A and B are shown apart, each in its own frame.
Chain A
C-alpha cells in the first residue's frame, strides 16, 4: 500500500517529497511506474480490441503496453543528449522521472476511461472507434504535458517569472530537451502503432504509419 501511495506522487508530475527524492528511490519509482503503466495500458488495449474478436483483444494485452513503453523509452537518450548539450540545470534524472510520470499519468487516463470505450464500442459503431482514438490522443498529449511540468518544476524549480533577467536562458535550456523528447516520442509512437496494427478493429490513419498520414502510401 505504501508503494502505491509513493507511486501516486508521480501522477500529475509534481515535485517528489524530499523523503522520496534520493537517486536510488527515484530510479526505483521509474521502474515501478513503467510496470504499472504496462498493466494500465493492457487494460485499455484489451477493451479497445474487444471491438473485434477475442484474439485481437488478447494480442492487445501486450501490443498496447509495448507501443506506449517503447516510445517513451526511445525518447530518453535523445533528451539526455540535448540536456547535456544545452547544459540544462537540474538533475539529469528529472528527464527520466518526468517521462515515467507522464507515461503513468497517460496510462491512468487510458485505464480509467476504458470502461467508457468498452461501452461505446459495444453500442455504437460510429462513436466507439472515434472515442477510443480520442482518448488515446488525449492521454498522449497529457503525458507530454506532465513530462513538461516535471522537467520545469523538478528537483530545482525554475523561477515563476521567465522574464526575470538571466532566467530566460535557463527556461530555454530546460525546454529544449523537453521539445526533443516530445518530438522523438511522437515520431516513434506513430511507427510503433503501424508496426503493431491492428490495435483497433477499424482502420485508422495511424495504421499505415507516417506514409499513410502524409498520404505517401
Chain B
C-alpha cells in the first residue's frame, strides 16, 4: 500500500512539475493566431522564446484611452498551458501612463481563462503594439517536488503510527484520571481522616 502511494505521488508530482531548466526551448513551437489591422487572420508557428508583437486595438501611445484598450485577436494554442508563464512583468515603458499600465495588466490576466498566455516585457513596439516574449516556466526542480511528496507520505504514516502507538498510554492515563477524580471522591474516608477531630473554634 505504501509503495503504491509513493509511486503514485512520485508520478503525479513529476508530471505536474515543469522542467528544471530556465529559458528558451529550442524546437518547441506554438501556433500563433493574430488578427491584423486589416482583418486578416495570420497563423504562424513560432518557437518559444521569440519576441512577438501583439496587435493592440487601438495602437497604443500615451494618448490612448485605457478604457478602450483591448488586446485584439490573439490566441495561442498550447498543449500544456501550465508550462508557459504568463507572469506580468513591471511595466517600465515611459510612454505608458499609470492607467494604461493597470489596464494592460488586467487584460493580460483576464486572458488566462481563455488559454491566452503571454509575457509582456514592459515595452511598447514602434507600431503601437505590445511586445511579448513567451518563455517556459521552469524554476522548480523535479527533485524538490518529489522530496516534498515523499516527506508528506512519510508524515502521514508517522502520524498514523503515532496515533496507534500512543493508544495504550492514552488509555492508561484516562484510567488513572478516572481513578483519581471519580473514584477518589466517592470512596470512604481513610481511618486517619475519620479519626481527626474538627478544629476547635
Q: Are B12 and A62 in contact (CB under 8 A)?
A: yes
- Can you identify 24 A-B contacts, CB atoms within 8 angstroms? A19-B178, A22-B170, A22-B174, A25-B166, A25-B170, A25-B174, A27-B166, A28-B162, A28-B170, A30-B162, A31-B159, A31-B160, A31-B162, A34-B156, A35-B156, A55-B15, A58-B12, A63-B16, A69-B152, A69-B156, A195-B148, A198-B16, A202-B113, A208-B137
Return chain B residues, CB-CB under 8 Å to A156. none
Q: Are A70 and B152 in contact (CB under 8 A)?
A: yes
Contact with B along A78-105 (1 / 0, CB 8 A): 0000000000000000000000000000
Contact of A62 among B139, B152, B170, B181 (CB under 8 A): B152
Asked whether any CB of chain B lies closer than 8 Å to the CB of A73, the reply is yes
Contact with B along A1-43 (1 / 0, CB 8 A): 0000000000000000011001111011011101100100000
Q: Are A62 and B163 in contact (CB under 8 A)?
A: no
Output the least CB separation between A194 and chain B (Å). 6
Output the least CB separation between B87 and chain A (Å). 6
Q: Are A35 and B160 in contact (CB under 8 A)?
A: yes
Output the least CB separation between A66 and chain B (Å). 4
Q: Are A196 and B145 in contact (CB under 8 A)?
A: yes
Asked whether any CB of chain A lies closer than 8 Å to the CB of B151, the reply is yes
A90 to B112, CA, bound (A): 50
Asked whether any CB of chain B lies closer than 8 Å to the CB of A59, the reply is yes
Interface of B is mostly: helix
Instruction: Name B180's closest neighbour in chain A (CB-CB).
Output: A18
Q: Taking beta carbons and an 8 Å cutoff, which residues of A are in contact with B? A: 18-19, 22-25, 27-28, 30-32, 34-35, 38, 55-56, 58-59, 62-63, 65-66, 69-70, 73, 125, 192, 194-198, 202-203, 208-209, 211-212, 215, 217
Contact of A202 among B112, B156, B174 (CB under 8 A): B112
Q: Are B173 and A23 in contact (CB under 8 A)?
A: yes
Q: Are A69 and B16 in contact (CB under 8 A)?
A: no
Q: Are A195 and B87 in contact (CB under 8 A)?
A: no
Interface size class of B (residues with CB under 8 A): 35 or more
Output the least CB separation between B83 and chain A (Å). 10
Return chain A residues, CB-CB under 8 Å to B149. 62, 66
Q: Are A65 and B152 in contact (CB under 8 A)?
A: yes
List 16 additional contacts besides A25-B173, A59-B16; criterion CB under 8 Å: A18-B181, A22-B176, A25-B166, A27-B162, A28-B163, A28-B166, A34-B159, A35-B160, A58-B12, A62-B9, A62-B149, A69-B152, A70-B148, A203-B112, A209-B139, A215-B90
Q: Are B162 and A18 in contact (CB under 8 A)?
A: no
Contact of B139 among A19, A25, A208 (CB under 8 A): A208
Instruction: Name B117's closest neighbour in chain A (CB-CB).
Output: A203
A62 to B145, CA, bound (A): 12
Q: Are A18 and B151 in contact (CB under 8 A)?
A: no
Output the least CB separation between A209 and chain B (Å). 8
Closest 7 CB pairs of A and B: A22-B173, A24-B169, A31-B163, A66-B152, A31-B162, A31-B159, A25-B170
A208 to B151, CA, bound (A): 22
